[in-house]
Each structure stands twice: as C-alpha cells, then as structure tokens.
Amino acid sequence: MEIKSVILAAGKGTRMKSDTAKVLHKIFDKPIIAYVLDSTKDITSENFVIVGHHADDVKAFVEKNYRNAKTVLQSPQLGTGHAVSMACPYLEDFEGQVIILNGDLPLMRSESLKKFIDYHNSKNSDLTIMSTILDDPASYGRVIREADNSLKSIVEAKDTTPEQKAVKEINVGVYLLNWRKIKAAFSQLTTNNAQGEYYLTDIIEWGKKNNLNVHAFILENSDESYGINSRKDLAYATKIMNERKLNSLMDNGVTIVDPSSTWISEDTEIGTDTTIYPFTYIEGKNKIGKNCKIGPCAHLRGDVEIDDNCKIGNFVEVKKSKIGHNTNAGHLSYIGDSELGSHINIGAGTITANFDPITGTKSKTVLKDNVKIGSNTVLVAPVEIGEGTNIGAGSVITKNIGEWALGLTRAPLRVIAGWVKRK
C-alpha cells in the first residue's frame, strides 16, 4: 500500500535559544530534519513537511535536497492536530496510509519504522501509535491503556492526573493512519485542554468513538524516540548516534582505536581492516576503502571518497575529494575539491588552494597517478599535475605541469658569511 508522510517541523524550539530553526540544527553537519526525511526514504512516496517558525529557511533546505518533499505552512501554530490538518487538502483523494513523524527525531531508524508499519498491517489497524518505555517520562505524553491492555488514549503531560503521570509508557510522536478512515478526525478536533490547542493525540479518542481499530506499537530501543528541544539534547543525540555508528563499524571489521575520542557520521562507509586513530572527526557523507589508516587528529568534512590502502594522517583535512588507492597524506595538509590518483605521496604542509575570495568560486586540483608533492607546497587551483611528476618542497604551483617532470619554484639560497657575528 502506498504511504505518504506528514512531518511536523513548525515549532519554534525556544529552548535552543537560536536564530536558526530547531530542525535545521546539525548533527555531523547534517540538519535534524534531514535525518527524519532520510528515515522515510524507502518507505514513503511523498513527504509533507509542516513549517512555521523560520519557514523560509526550512522550505529552502527541504525543497533543495528532497525531490519527493514539499513544505506546507502552518500559521498560526495552533497545535499538532492543526499542523497535520494543513496537509489535508493535499491528501483529499489519497487512499493509502499516512505516517506522521515529529521533525526533531534524528535517531529514528527506517528499520524501526518498517517494523511499526508491519505491526500496523498485521493487526489490521486503522490507527497505530508508536510508544516506548522510559524510566523518566518527564514531559512526554503518557500512553494510557484499557484494562485489557489495549490502547485507550494519550494524555499530554500537562493534562495528566497524578496516577497517569506515574505511567512510564510514552508517546513517541509517530502515527500510522489508514487515511480514508481517519482524515475526517482533523476537521472535528477541539481545543478542550490546558493549552487551548488542537492535539493530534485526540484522534485516538475519535477513532475509538467511531469504532475503528486502534493499536500501540512499543518501540524496543527507546533511544530512537529521543527528541531535540535544547542544545543539551542535541549533544546527547549526537553521542548516541556516534556510539551506534562506531559499534556498527567495529562489528563489521573496522578498528576504532579509541571510541571515546572518535566521531564518525552515520552516512560514512568504511571498509574492513581500516584503522581509525584517536581524535578523528568524520562528518557528512564519505566512503573509505579497505586497509586504510585515518588519523590521529584527521578531519574529513564530507563528500570524500578514499580508495583502499590509503593513509590520511595527523592534522590532515579533506573535503569534497576523491583519493585513489595507495595514496598517502601523512601530516599537516589540506586537500579540498581535489581528485588524486593512486600511489601519490603528499608531503607535510601541502595545501590545495581551492578558493578564490574575489570571485567566491572554488576550483579543482587534479593529481595524476604516481605524483610526489614535496613539503610546504601550495597548489593553486585550477591546476593539474601529470602522471609521475615531482613537485619540489616549498613550491607554489599556479600552472598545469605535464607527465614525469619536476616542478619547482624556489628563490636562490643566499649565504652571508659572518653576518651574525657582525650584528
């Protein structure tokens, strides 16, 4: 059955204390909302992102990066139920299922969403919520069950009785609806609650009153339910994401020398027998081959492809570059917007000068196979160095050089005998 999503991303995020929309704050240089959208990648045919505060910024990011997503403005913001109703005109004739997600759940896995959908279908449910168990439910809405353990309602924390507040099963903020049966609920919600808002949770009571099949699926890993509301939340979520990525890599044959000082993005692939040394930070989307050595103190900034048997050493920064097999950049270098062949050696202190501050453009550096770059060299892009060519240490290269040559720019050495004693 076709599934579309509604993603709630209109909130202000007051506790972030920021001029940036909450859902555009980043983990490993990737906005929170991108993680949510990516979790639906193999599930939904179309996504509706409900925007409000900083709407133009969120709209620009979403529509630039996701072809199957469109933004829908909620103004004013009158609650979560009101937010979903903003998408109703776009779903008027839709006959499939709608999954509703909060836009601040970066740790939610697509695998968990698929299990949620399978559960919904196995129960022939019309409306299924996702819940989880927390030792400290804090401000989350409580899941209230009937005596037979079926779902009764969700009560927002602000509206709970003391007995309900003690419940540890909470609402994750993920719903799956058989849209044709549930859509009428959004025109019948009321504001009879402490906040005077249209609560999305009220569709459960509506469904039960209309004799619909209503269920709750318990998410096994409660970490995936972690929502971002503050800078502390953002740091904690980053730590959880990093830990599960490092564990996955180690389970698949990658050596992480010191997990406590190593940070690797969810979107980075690393081959077997590669070693990641301490204080390495890898963000963005990258692909690293087998038998490589990365770090210590290396920084990969995204869009990096590194082939097998390479070394990216201490205090080396790489971004938006492709590096061939058996190539080494051992220390204190910057490689940006570059294409490096195989069997290349990059001397210490080498810089690819890729940015022109006058025009604001970035240009490419190309090094063919077997090139050797001497220490303290600046390669001023756009520039191409032919196969087998050596560049002498301390050179500034501003023009293309052909194959098997020596490139050298160096002022003559002057020795003034006795100068120090005379001074």
Q: Which residues are catalytic?
A: 331
CB 388 within 8 A of CB 362: no
CB 217 within 8 A of CB 174: no
Q: Please tell me the total number of residues recorded for the chain in this structure.
A: 423
**Peptide bond preceding 89 in cis form (omega within 30 of 0):** no
The alpha-helical segments, DSSP class H, found in 130-277 are 162-165, 179-182, 202-209, 231-251
* Structure tokens that stand for 368 in this block: 């063919």
Please state the φ and ψ torsions of residue 227, each to the nearest 5 degrees. -95, 155
Longest CA–CA separation in the chain, Å = 102
Dihedral over Cα of 228, 59, 177, 181: its sign:
positive
* Distance of alpha carbon 191 from alpha carbon 133, whole angstroms: 28
CA angle 52, 57, 61 (to 5 degrees): 115
* Distance of alpha carbon 98 from alpha carbon 193, whole angstroms: 26
Residues paired with residue 98 on neighbouring β-strands, in sequence order: 4, 177
Cβ-based burial of 35 (10 A; exposed 0-12, middle 13-18, buried ≥19): buried
Which amino acid is present at 414? R
Other C-beta atoms within 10 Å of 215: how many? 17
* Structure tokens that stand for 225 in this block: 């339910």
